[in-house]
Amino acid sequence: MIMKFRKAPGHFIVVDRTMIDDDTEISYKAKGILTYLMGRPETWKPNLEEIASHASDKIGSIKSGIQELKQAGYVKITRIRDNESKKWVGWEWYVTDVKSQEALPIIEKPKAKNQLTESKPKVENKLSETSPQNQAKLGKTESQKTDLRKNDFVKEIDNSKKELEAKRREREEEEKTTRANSPQVEIYREVFGESNLKRLTILQQQQLTMLDDLDLLRKTCEWWAGNGYQAKSVGSICERYHEQEERIKEKSKPRQCQQESVFDRNLRFLGIDPASLQSIQ
């Protein structure tokens, strides 16, 4: 049992529980870093020193945790280039709590410059880059490319959410099939109702399926419901079932022979075996 309480209202972070409960490919350290990143505003500028200042981990530990998130597809980092100066001016972070299908590219490498363009004067390069003809050849601007990358990233997140939803539906269908095929679970449904059945875990349903005597199980459930006990206490119901089963077995055992009569005891006192007299008769 976990006792939960909060001291201060507000300041909450909403994340997908699938990342916390089901993803075993990343460590708890990486999950904690991702939770911290999901709580940052969009105007926040990522800084490893600032992230490390909120925990006992060193910068090296923060780097290894972010590397796990990159490989798992939760974080993507690209470089930002200034359109006017054509220089790399910073980094752009994409963070999500839904695992992508494939590992995303981490850093966008700059294109190799041609040796002929490097030998030309800087003025000619600026004129050629800003000319309408060159802009027509380049096609989309850097800002448009960034928007496209964001759209692709959002699409992959949507696809991942759809896959998770499909898996959940398949799991629910399997659970419904298990309930329908188990006569023990059907008895539980008839006695306690559909609402209590939905609260049971798969492990509790398996405990019920291990009880072979269906009549005894029905009587046990009816006795449990009649006394006002909680329906979700499947373990206690199973204990009650086994106790009743032991009592039935004790009653079914043959009774022991009656005690020796006074006449037979007197014969034995005189040295005569009562069995020998019965053989003579």
First to last CA, the chain: 73
Report the pLDDT value the prediction gives residue 110, as an integer from 0 to 100: 47
> Whole-angstrom Cα distance, residue 59 to residue 67?
12
The confidence score (pLDDT) of residue 173 equals 73
Maximal C-alpha separation, the chain: 138
| Residue 126 sits in the same domain as residue 205 | no
* Integer Cα distance of 266 and 41 in angstroms: 101
Alpha-carbon torsion 102, 103, 106, 108, what sign?
Answer: negative
Both 144 and 47 in one domain: the answer is yes
Judgement on whether residues 30 and 108 belong to the same structural domain of the protein: yes
- Boundary residue ending a domain (167, 198, 220): 167
Residues 151 and 87 in one domain: yes
pLDDT band, very low/low/confident/very high, at 28 (cuts 50, 70, 90) = very high
In-domain check, residue 137: yes
For the record, the structure tokens of 12 come out as 């909450």
Domain co-membership, 217 together with 194? yes
Q: What is the mean pLDDT of residues 247-263?
A: 72
Residues 231 and 116 in one domain: no
Q: Does 162 share its domain with 202?
A: no
Q: Which of 134, 167, 200 is the last residue before a domain boundary?
A: 167
Q: 25 in a domain, yes or no?
A: yes
pLDDT band of residue 205 (cuts 50, 70, 90) is confident
The answer as to whether 88 is a domain residue is yes
Residues 30 and 74 in one domain: yes
In a domain, 123, yes or no: yes
* Domain end point (choices 167, 197, 212): 167
**197 and 149 assigned to the same domain:** no
Q: Flag whether 270 is in a domain.
A: no
The pLDDT of residue 115: 42
The residue segments making up the domain with residue 76 are 17-167
Q: Write down the pTM of the prediction.
A: 0.38
Q: Does residue 143 sit in the same domain as residue 27?
A: yes
Q: Are residues 30 and 154 part of one domain?
A: yes
Return the pLDDT at 39. 84
pLDDT at 215: 92
The yes-or-no verdict on residue 223 having pLDDT over 90 is yes
In a domain, 269, yes or no: no
- Give dist(CA 2, CA 16) in Å, integer: 21
**Which residues lie closer than 8 Å to 116 by C-beta, 6 or more apart?**
none
Q: For residue 159, tell me if it sits in a domain.
A: yes
Structure tokens at 18: 């699938």
Q: Which residues of 172-209 are buried (b: 16+ CB within 10 A; e: fewer)?
A: eeeeeeebeebebbebbbebbeeeebeebeeebbebbe
239 within domain boundaries: yes
Cα separation of 63 and 106, whole Å?
Answer: 14
Mean pLDDT of the chain: 76
Query: Please, what is the angle between helix 59-72 and helix 28-38, to 10°?
Result: 90
Same domain as 141, residue 38: yes
If one counts the domains in the chain, the total is 2
To which H or E segment does residue 77 belong? Answer: strand 75-81
Q: Give per-residue pLDDT as tens, 105-135.
A: 444 444 444 444 444 444 444 444 455 555 5
